[in-house]
């Protein structure tokens, strides 16, 4: 549960947390999607430990953010509905990761490859390529004066439906919200990400919720997701507390500096930055997959 990390390795982790926190502060996106590939590819930390510890460390900043904002009862409605799907999703995601871990090594291309590593890296690659390409496409469309259409999921009216006037949207289908939460939960449980990277674009583009309100809803969901993911991963013994603390320490300082740099950049640069950052992380993952399979 406490990996035998040497002091200089812990310092390296603090440094990674600092760099990722800085990038997160600049671009306004989650750090988890970068942390897992970096911890695994650069520092060689086993994928299950990297995923579990990253999920655990997210609880720190999300607790601080929720305390700083304060949340009213009505603001909890949508996040709690989504959470129904997320609970099942996180459990399933962690179980899938655990089952892949128990499969051990599989033969691919005449090489023995850990099934869990292949699953996590493969899913990461697809997700990062998708987010990176979408971000760049969205900026391009906006620049051309043809913004991306919003609210595809908001048009589905599977009953029961309810009105969410506090979010500035009309009626939304409860089963659709739960299913949206389920997909996010599976990804979060399996990859150790907080889910914000999927939640915010999902809430804004699929459910047509305004960015500011989507961020608060996502914040509440992220806290619940990371709380559940931490229980699940800690129970499997996949959390390293020393690693978690080192990540939180570096990340907090990095995010502070990054957010100050962020105020000097314009919105479009930030959004295309997110796209390139995702594609960079996808490149890291692709490199690791190549190393595994060559």
Partner 1 sequence: MSPFVSRILFVVACLTVPVVWGIIVNWVFHRLKTTVPVEDESQSESQDEPVIEYYI
Give the interface with partner 1 as residue ranges (CB under 8 A). 1, 21, 24-25, 27-31, 56-68, 194, 196, 215, 219, 222, 226-227, 230-231, 233-235, 237, 239, 241, 244-245, 248, 251-252, 254-256, 258-260, 262-263
Tokens matching residue 36 = 């897992």
Nearer to partner 1, 227 or 280 (CB): 227
Tokens matching residue 116 = 């869990």
Closest alpha carbon to 284 in 55, 133, 132, 121: 121
Q: Smallest distance, Å, CB 174 to partner 1?
A: 26
Nearer to partner 1, 61 or 101 (CB): 61
Nearer to partner 1, 28 or 84 (CB): 28
Nearer to partner 1, 123 or 194 (CB): 194
DSSP state of 42: I
Q: Smallest distance, Å, CB 152 to partner 1?
A: 25
Nearer to partner 1, 19 or 289 (CB): 19
CB atoms within 10 A of CB 285: 25
Task: Give the Cα-Cα-Cα angle 256, 260, 261 (nearest 5 degrees).
Answer: 115
CB atoms within 10 A of CB 133: 14
Q: Smallest distance, Å, CB 74 to partner 1?
A: 20
Rounded Cα–Cα distance for residues 221 and 215 (Å): 10
Q: Smallest distance, Å, CB 272 to partner 1?
A: 17
Q: Smallest distance, Å, CB 166 to partner 1?
A: 20
Nearer to partner 1, 108 or 265 (CB): 265
CB-based contacts of 180, cutoff 8 Å, min separation 6 = 82, 85, 153, 202, 206, 207
Instruction: Show the DSSP H helices in the chain as ranges.
Output: 7-27, 32-37, 47-69, 77-103, 115-143, 174-191, 196-201, 211-235, 241-262, 267-293
Q: Smallest distance, Å, CB 33 to partner 1?
A: 11
Nearer to partner 1, 60 or 283 (CB): 60
Tokens matching residue 189 = 């449980």
Q: Smallest distance, Å, CB 145 to partner 1?
A: 28
The sign of the CA dihedral 267, 268, 271, 272 is negative
Identify the three-state secondary structure at position 43. coil
Q: Smallest distance, Å, CB 290 to partner 1?
A: 30
Rounding to the nearest 10 degrees, give the CA dihedral for residues 205, 127, 183, 216: -50
Report the DSSP beta bridge partners of residue 161: 173
Nearer to partner 1, 167 or 215 (CB): 215
């Amino acid at each position: 549960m406490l990996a035998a990390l040497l002091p200089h390795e812990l310092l390296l982790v603090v440094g990674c947390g600092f760099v990722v926190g800085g990038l997160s502060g600049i671009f306004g996106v989650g750090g988890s999607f970068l942390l897992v590939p970096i911890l695994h590819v650069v520092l060689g930390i086993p994928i299950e430990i990297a995923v579990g510890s990253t999920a655990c460390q997210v609880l720190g900043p999300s607790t601080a953010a929720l305390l700083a904002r304060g949340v009213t009862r009505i603001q909890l409605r949508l996040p709690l509905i989504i959470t129904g799907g997320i609970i099942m999703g996180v459990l399933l995601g962690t179980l899938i990761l655990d089952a892949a871990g128990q499969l051990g090594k599989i033969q691919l291309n005449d090489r023995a490859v850990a099934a869990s590593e292949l699953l996590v890296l493969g899913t990461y690659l697809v997700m990062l390529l998708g987010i990176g390409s979408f971000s760049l496409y969205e900026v391009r469309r906006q620049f051309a004066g043809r913004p991306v259409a919003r609210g595809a999921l908001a048009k589905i009216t599977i009953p029961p439906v309810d009105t969410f006037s506090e979010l500035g949207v009309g009626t939304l289908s409860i089963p659709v919200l739960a299913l949206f939460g389920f997909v996010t939960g599976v990804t979060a449980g399996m990859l150790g990400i907080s889910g914000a990277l999927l939640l915010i674009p999902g809430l804004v583009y699929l459910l047509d919720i305004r960015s500011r309100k989507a961020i608060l809803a996502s914040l509440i969901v992220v806290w619940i997701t990371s709380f559940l993911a931490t229980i699940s991963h800690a129970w499997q013994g996949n959390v390293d507390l020393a690693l978690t603390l080192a990540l939180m320490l570096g990340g907090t300082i990095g995010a502070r500096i990054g957010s100050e740099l962020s105020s000097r950049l314009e919105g479009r640069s930030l959004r295309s930055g997110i796209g390139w950052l995702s594609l960079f992380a996808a490149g890291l993952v692709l490199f690791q997959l190549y190393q595994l399979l060559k």
